[in-house]
Each structure stands twice: as C-alpha cells, then as structure tokens.
C-alpha cells in the first residue's frame, strides 16, 4: 500500500492534526537553524575582523597560508539618486562603460512572460 493510499483513509480532522504537528516541527527546526546560523555568522565576523586587524598591523595586503590566501580588498561602489538624469548623461555622452556589466534580471522575465506566456 502506498503512502497516498494510506492517507486517503485518514479522516480530515486527523489529517489536520498531523499537518499541524509536522508544521510545528518544521517551524521549530527552522528556528533552531536560524539561531545556529546567526551564531556562526557572528563568529565568522569576529574572525574576519581579527584577520583584517592582524593583516593591517603587519602592513600586508595578501597572506598565503596552508588553508588559502587571505587578501584585503577595498571595493568602491558608486550610486546615484537620480537614475533618469544619469541614464540621460550616459546616452548623451556615449559612456556606457560607466555601467556595471550585468543584466536586469526582473524586466526581461516580465517581457518574456507577456510575449510568450501562451506557449507555457
């Protein structure tokens, strides 16, 4: 007898009870996981800070270890509050290289759906 066949014979009130029990257990497991993940993330932040502090004290930008190479990297990200003016500037001055090289992941999907949804 399959699981589906066994479930078919269980009354709805009993299925609701089983459902609630499984859902409660899932929520508990998720909460425990989230707590453990927060703890690990905090520990990882402490280790990162210590790595940065020691490397800065040594004046090192890169250190090779038996477990991998550690590097201090500074990334600067630029943004604007007026995207319309920025896009106009980019087009008028033909400076497309100012843009980050990645595609919008949302709008092409919407376009695809609107045009080809009938094929799905």
> What is the reported pTM?
0.53
Q: Is the pLDDT of residue 70 over 80?
A: yes
pLDDT per residue as tens digits for the range 16-65: 999 999 999 999 999 999 999 999 999 999 999 999 999 999 999 999 99
**In which residue are the tokens 């989230």 written?**
34
Binned at pLDDT 50, 70 and 90, residue 107 comes out as low
CB 52 within 8 A of CB 72: yes
Neighbouring residues of 86: CB distance < 8 A, sequence distance ≥ 6: 80
- Where do the structural domains in the chain lie, given as residue ranges? 3-71, 83-119
Residue 1 has what pLDDT? 55
């Amino acid at each position: 007898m399959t699981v589906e066949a066994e479930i078919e014979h269980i009354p709805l009130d009993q299925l609701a009870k089983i459902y609630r029990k499984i859902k409660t257990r899932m929520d508990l497991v998720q909460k425990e996981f989230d707590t453990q993940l927060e703890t690990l993330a905090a520990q990882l932040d402490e280790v990162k800070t210590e790595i940065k502090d020691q490397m800065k004290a040594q004046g090192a930008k890169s250190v090779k270890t038996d477990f991998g190479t550690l590097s201090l990297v500074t990334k600067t990200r630029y943004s604007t509050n007026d995207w319309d003016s920025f896009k106009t500037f980019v087009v008028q001055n033909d400076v497309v290289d100012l843009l980050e090289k990645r595609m919008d992941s949302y709008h092409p999907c919407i376009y695809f759906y609107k045009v080809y949804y009938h094929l799905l």
